[in-house]
Amino acid sequence: MMIEAQDTYSFSTPQGKTDIFYTQTIQVPAVPMEKGRCNALYVCDEHTLPLLQYAQHFSPDVPLVVLKSGDAAKNLDAVAAIAQAAAAAELDRAAYFIGFGGGVVCDITALAASLYMRGVRCILIPTTVLAMADAAIGGKTAVNLCGYKNLLGSFYAASAIFLCFPVLQSLPEAEYHSGLAEVLKTAVLYDAELYQLFVQHPDTVRNRDMRLLSMMIRRAAEAKARVVERDFTEQGERSFLNLGHTFAHALESLSNFSVLHGDAVAWGIARALAVGLRLQLTDKDYAQSLIHTLNCYGWCTEPVYSSIQVANNSFAGSIIARMKKDKKNRHGMIRLVLQETLLKTQLCEVADSVIQEVLR
């Protein structure tokens, strides 16, 4: 396959090497025609279809699956549609599934690749900040089930990931803003200099300066890749990357996925800081600094999420009920990723009563 990359970064997992290609063009890998067919399949959604068809090396001969957009499409029907299209095209075990889209498309494509013929190669071209910095990196695949976020999934690393930075120029403002939260999350976990860019240059970051943005995404992606190398199947340190996510996934579920993932993560980080303060674990000055930064970017940090129309006394109970389905939990106890201060993180079991206090 032909690849035109400005720069590359590679990391390894028990499943092999993953290459990240940084490009200043919107492209997909060139798929050769072999014996009258292309042994590959494109997956995109309704929003990214025009970008995919515009991309360098796009081939109309490659079978194409177009999913509905949004988290509501993250289900087993989508996985089945991809597998059925691959079977109809007679793709074999040497095939490539090429996912072109945001985190939903990347997750579904990779899960389908892990299942079709017990595993075919997967290439991801993430088209959002969130997917570039987080969702496409590291091999977590999943779909939602029974109203719960990412309940069914696998660990399946992509063989290649293309970060085509020009796609971000056409990203809707809400999606762009949401994705920044995942970059900020990785910064407070692993990269103090990246965190300072958020603190010191909010206007430049919000205004989508492409030189700064591409550098920030690259730092976040490589920081996550290093964690994935050390703990691919999330037996320890990788769980730290879920900072804010237990609250966030519960909020997304409660809102029927109307709250964007990154916005939910930012709110979840604020709630995790509040828990840490109540447990006298989190440094007060650090918590105030990070809450101020979240507020500077317009993310909700209040105990009750601003757009959820639920009575105060039922909001906490509804969130906690969903948090109890989180995959990190053990023995019926909710486990949260909490921070002592910048770059210093731990996983803690937290009583329901403490969580209720920070949700009202």
**Is 213 a domain residue?**
no
Instruction: Dump pLDDT digits (tens) for 104-136.
Output: 999 999 999 999 999 999 999 999 999 999 999
Please tell me the predicted confidence (pLDDT) of residue 36: 84
Residue type, 111: L
- Do 148 and 246 fall within a single domain? no
pTM for this structure? 0.94
**Is 279 a domain residue?**
yes
**Is 198 a domain residue?**
yes
- Do 142 and 185 fall within a single domain? no
- Do 181 and 165 fall within a single domain? no
User: Are 59 and 34 within 8 A, CB to CB?
Assistant: no
Confidence of residue 2 (pLDDT cuts 50, 70, 90): low
Domain, as residue range, for 105 = 7-170
Q: What average pLDDT score do residues 334-343 get?
A: 98
- Do 35 and 90 fall within a single domain? yes
Q: Which residues contact 170 (CB under 8 A, 6 or more apart)?
A: 51
The whole-angstrom separation of Cα 74 and Cα 52 is: 20
Q: Any idea which residue has 């990347």 for tokens?
A: 106
Q: CATH number for the domain including 36?
A: 3.40.50.1970
- Do 243 and 286 fall within a single domain? yes
- Total number of domains constituting the chain: 2
Residue type, 308: I
Is 56 a residue whose pLDDT tops 90? yes
- Do 96 and 198 fall within a single domain? no
- Do 150 and 281 fall within a single domain? no
What tokens were used for 51? 């970008």
Please tell me the predicted confidence (pLDDT) of residue 178: 97
Nearest to 307 by CA among 274, 271, 261, 258: 258
Is 330 a residue whose pLDDT tops 90? no
Instruction: Dump pLDDT digits (tens) for 187-237.
Output: 999 999 999 999 999 999 999 999 999 999 999 999 999 999 999 999 999
Q: What average pLDDT score do residues 41-47 get?
A: 98
What tokens were used for 145? 């089930």
**Is 212 a domain residue?**
no
Q: Calculate the alpha carbon distances from 65 to 78, 82, 163, 245, 283 in Å.
A: 9, 6, 21, 30, 49
- Do 314 and 353 fall within a single domain? yes
Instruction: Dump pLDDT digits (tens) for 232-260.
Output: 999 999 999 999 999 999 999 999 899 99
**Is 215 a domain residue?**
no
What percentage of the chain carries pLDDT values higher than 90? 89
Instruction: Dump pLDDT digits (tens) for 81-103.
Output: 999 999 999 999 999 999 999 99
Please tell me the predicted confidence (pLDDT) of residue 343: 98
Please tell me the predicted confidence (pLDDT) of residue 325: 87
Q: Could you write out the three-class secondary structure of the chain?
A: CECCCCEEEEEEECCEEEEEEEECCCECCECCCECCECCEEEEEECCCHHHHHHCECCCCCCCEEEECCCHHHCCHHHHHHHHHHHHHCCCCCCCEEEEEECHHHHHHHHHHHHHHHHCCEEEEEECCHHHHHHHCCCCEEEEEECCEEEEEEEECCCCEEEEEHHHHHHCCHHHHHHHHHHHHHHHHHHCHHHHHHHHHCHHHHHCCCHHHHHHHHHHHHHHHHHHHHHCCCCCCHHHHHHCCHHHHHHHHHHCCCCCCHHHHHHHHHHHHHHHHHHCCCCCHHHHHHHHHHHHHCCCCCCCCCCCCCCCHHHHHHHHHHHHCCCCCCECCEEEEEEEEECCEEEEEEECHHHHHHCCC
State the virtual CA torsion across 138, 298, 243, 100 in degrees, nearest 10.
Answer: -20
What tokens were used for 207? 């205004």
Please tell me the predicted confidence (pLDDT) of residue 308: 85
Is 348 a residue whose pLDDT tops 80? yes
The whole-angstrom separation of Cα 136 and Cα 161 is: 7
Nearest to 73 by CA among 102, 104, 52: 104
Mean pLDDT is lowest, of 6-10, 315-319, 353-357, for 6-10
Q: CATH number for the domain including 274?
A: 1.20.1090.10
Please tell me the predicted confidence (pLDDT) of residue 5: 60
Is 277 a residue whose pLDDT tops 70? yes
**Is 313 a domain residue?**
yes
Please tell me the predicted confidence (pLDDT) of residue 35: 82
What percentage of the chain carries pLDDT values higher than 70? 98
Please tell me the predicted confidence (pLDDT) of residue 259: 95
Other CB atoms closer than 10 Å to residue 205's CB: what's the count?
A: 20
Instruction: Dump pLDDT digits (tens) for 16-26.
Output: 999 999 999 99
User: Which pairing describes strands 160-164 and 334-341: parallel, antiparallel, or unpaired?
Assistant: unpaired
- Do 165 and 253 fall within a single domain? no
- Do 236 and 353 fall within a single domain? yes
Which backbone phi and psi does 171 adopt, to 5 degrees? -70, 130
Please tell me the predicted confidence (pLDDT) of residue 96: 97
Is 3 a residue whose pLDDT tops 70? no
Q: Calculate the alpha carbon distances from 44 to 50, 55, 166, 360 in Å.
A: 10, 12, 17, 40
What's the mean per-residue pLDDT of the chain? 95
Nearest to 192 by CA among 293, 45, 342: 342
Please tell me the predicted confidence (pLDDT) of residue 148: 84
Instruction: Dump pLDDT digits (tens) for 280-316.
Output: 999 999 999 999 999 999 999 999 998 887 765 699 9
- Do 162 and 253 fall within a single domain? no
Please tell me the predicted confidence (pLDDT) of residue 263: 98
- Do 76 and 92 fall within a single domain? yes
**Is 115 a domain residue?**
yes
